[in-house]
Amino acid sequence: MVTRTTVRTWSRVARTGENDQVTSQPPVPADDPTAVTARDLEVLAEQLGRAPRGVVGIAARCVCGRPLVVRTAPRLPDGTPFPTTYYLTHPGAVAAASRLEADGVMREMSQRLTEDDELAAAYRRAHEHYLARREELGHVEEVAGISAGGMPTRVKCLHVLMGHALAAGPGVNPLGDEALERVRDQWRPDRCSC
């Protein structure tokens, strides 16, 4: 079973790349580990290869404290509606999700949704959870009722489902949980690979 690791405080240093250089990162705010720091925004820009947009919180962190999943506003600063509330940013997790997608896992999961009523009901609940969490950030009519990742009837993006599972914790998104379990040999949330 995959568990979400919430980092409240930490003083470790994070590995930054293939040369194993080490950099300090200011501690995650102890009173609110979801708060976005200036250093978080720098790390996100490194992870994404561009400036982050619409970030309202860090929904999940690596055990070293670096962002793993961001929580994004339903409307970006330029006015664009953005349905992806939970955006997976960690390069190792992103690569693992991409490999699963390339292996055809989305098609297999979508097929199972048509055959397994219990799985389909749990996935619909994940969709409702996603919508409720986004609505907390504000109502955007253009994306009302639309979650992300293909929910509630198909699987369109494992990055979204894994991000949702990491942010919400185990038991909320069954296919996100399953995807996390399937990538354990490549990437795990309980081990730093930054």
Tokens read off for 156: 């369109």
Average pLDDT score, the chain: 87
Which pTM value belongs to this model? 0.84
pLDDT at 18 over 70: no
Give the residue extent of every domain in the chain.
Answer: 38-183
Query: What number of H helices and E strands is found in the chain?
Result: 6, 5
Tell me how far apart the alpha carbons of residues 78 and 53 are, in angstroms, rounded to a whole number. 9
Interval 121-178: pLDDT, tens:
999 999 999 999 999 999 999 999 999 999 999 999 999 999 999 999 999 999 999 9
Tell me how far apart the alpha carbons of residues 24 and 164 are, in angstroms, rounded to a whole number. 28
Tell me how far apart the alpha carbons of residues 67 and 47 are, in angstroms, rounded to a whole number. 9
Provide CB contacts within 8 A for 125, sequence distance 6+.
Answer: 172
